[in-house]
């Protein structure tokens, strides 16, 4: 197997008596598209926040891009990209301004920023829109732009939190093509999603139920293991016994 980018052992997060994430362990390899599935309230977001350095684990250990999640959260932030389900660029800034802003936040020099901005605009066929306000773009375009910007500093891992919520199937397809492209370039993708057809696109899929990791394998092997036709069935088999709700 190739190099490990994310490694988590016995990761646990408690809020008072409530155990949001219970004793979770897994590894993610370089260039992988790692699907992170679970019903609402299963602990996906909490786990992801710990990996992004936004929250400390109650117990257990983990490393992201070689840095400890308990002690080096701030360093981790420099080596990851992040895109959330809510559209998160500035609507009142133009496409170029958004690119410049985030490039600046990640400490890119003026020269690098200009170079990457041109690359990015060319790749997305956005060159003509560089002075358009982001708020005026269609949602699908916005999401693509947001993903491109999340990867502007060439991070080792890009975390995508339900990136395709509310996007039409065609744009979703295009969006996944972008994800593939990035992963072929060596970027590791850590993605949560609700769409089971998207789970099929992942290299490996993990499924969380009630704060615990119930399954982790390639989509093909998961389907064999649960004797299911599709990932949808696998998910429903596992999520059926879920105690927790929203």
- The residues that touch another protein, with contacts defined as CB under 8 A, are 52-56, 74, 77-78, 80, 82-84, 86-91, 102, 105-107, 159
Is the CB of 14 or the CB of 244 nearer to another protein?
14
Residue (105 or 122) nearer to another protein, CB: 105
Cβ distance to another protein smaller for residue 36 or 159 = 159
- Nearest distance, CB of residue 99 and another protein, angstroms: 13
**Which of residues 56 and 180 has its CB atom nearest to another protein in the complex?**
56
Could you tell me the smallest distance in angstroms from the CB atom of residue 135 to another protein?
Answer: 10
DSSP string of the chain?
---EEEEEEEEEEEETTEEEEEEEEEEEETT-EEEEEE-TTSSHHHHHHHHTTSS--SEEEEEETTEETTT-HHHHHHHEEEE-SS--S-TTSBHHHHHHHHHHHTT--HHHHHHHHHHHHHHTT-GGGTTSBGGGS-HHHHHHHHHHHHTTT--SEEEEESTTTT--HHHHHHHHHHHHHHHHTT-EEEEE-S-HHHHHHSSEEEEEETTEEEEEE-HHHHHHHTT-SSHHHHHHHHHTT-----
Find the shortest distance in angstroms from Cβ 146 to another protein. 9
- Distance in Å, CB of 62 to another protein, minimum: 16
- 86 vs 115 by CB, closer to another protein: 86
In angstroms, what is the minimal distance from the CB of 239 to another protein? 26
């Amino acid at each position: 197997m190739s190099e490990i980018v994310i490694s988590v052992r016995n990761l646990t997060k408690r809020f008072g008596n409530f155990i949001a994430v219970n004793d979770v362990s897994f590894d993610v390899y370089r260039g992988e598209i790692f699907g992170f599935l679970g019903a609402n309230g299963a602990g996906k977001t909490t786990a992801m926040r710990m990996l992004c350095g936004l929250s400390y684990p109650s117990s257990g250990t983990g490393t992201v891009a070689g840095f400890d999640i308990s002690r080096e959260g701030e360093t981790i932030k420099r080596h990851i990209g992040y895109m959330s389900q809510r559209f998160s660029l500035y609507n009142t800034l133009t496409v170029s301004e958004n690119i410049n802003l985030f490039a600046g936040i990640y400490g890119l020099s003026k020269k690098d920023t200009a170079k990457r901005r041109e690359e990015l605009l060319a790749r997305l066929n956005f060159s003509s829109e560089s002075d358009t306000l982001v708020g005026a773009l269609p949602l699908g375009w916005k999401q693509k732009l947001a993903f491109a910007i999340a990867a502007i500093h060439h991070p080792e891992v890009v975390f995508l939190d339900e990136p395709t919520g509310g996007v039409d199937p065609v744009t979703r397809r295009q969006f996944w093509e972008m994800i593939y492209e990035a992963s072929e370039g060596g970027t590791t993708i850590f993605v949560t999603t609700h769409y089971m057809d998207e789970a099929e696109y992942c290299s490996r899929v993990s499924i969380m139920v009630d704060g615990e990791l119930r399954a982790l394998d390639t989509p093909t092997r998961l389907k064999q293991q649960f004797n299911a036709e599709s990932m949808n069935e696998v998910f429903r088999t596992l999520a059926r016994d879920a105690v927790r709700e929203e």
